[in-house]
Chains A and B, each alone.
Chain A
């Protein structure tokens, strides 16, 4: 479950994107719909712990996202709009890091690579992958540890 409590956020102080949001998202598929630029992606970034709220709190499965950072984040896997991977590590290394952080054996990373057909390109960095391969790599990372919540942009 994701719970927003009096959540506010602004990229520019004078122009808030989210203002005093109180919301609870339960289990199952929840779709977020709205016009362009209304803050859907920003909302997801808040839910995934990518951006910190200016005020208010976010709870993931009862854990405060910014006070119990590790416990809360263990319950989610964020799938961003842009496959946002670092160019300073290969896909395999990134998946190893994810395995280590989610306390999963490294073989889970190999299995995820295999499942998404990325074994042959696993030694490559994001710069040498097509957009589709990048998306698959982020998918593979998300599946490691099977967390219950997937905020997906």
Chain B
């Protein structure tokens, strides 16, 4: 089909011009082909409750979920919760990055001995289950915003810090020595040799901590908050409003996917030059 259209529209092209119509159509058909499984899944999701295989009170079909979602959005209920959830997550994440990355630079680079001493402690604190620390944070910082941001900060800090340290330590010493032998030093050395060398690990740390942050955010909001997406899920469950529950879950999943996609694009832009990245 697309080949036919491509042949028709190609007749009027000059040399070197891109066949935009064909590219556009190809993108559409590719997108459709890629999402067949999703469409089948949504179809099953729609049919099964309506047919009665699963009680409709337990599983809301996508049409109902979409209706509820639109209603929540237009009622102005959804947006404040999304805003506050994002605010908490982003604050914790940015704080962790602002402290973790420079600290990682210092520990990985200049203060090697200090890093060696601190290493077990850092790994210990990283391994402590954040859920065990929930009550401690709430006790220390109250039930307000600060405790949530603090939990997310804690959870984000360790991957960023540990990955930055690893990244800096693993910069190929040969590269540094070569640069030094040409007279590069100080800030130039840092910006042009060390930073790019460590960037993969640093980015990996940021990506990991972003995913974990979002995850812990929802949990924290479910347990001890009065607003935000996690609280919305909890609230929907308590009031047995299943469509609302599904709608919020879909929102949370979409947000997560979007963040993931953002990071993929960033990674593509920043780290594309490194060629040993394995992905599924």
A pairs with B:
no
Q: Which residues of B contact A (CB under 8 A)?
A: none
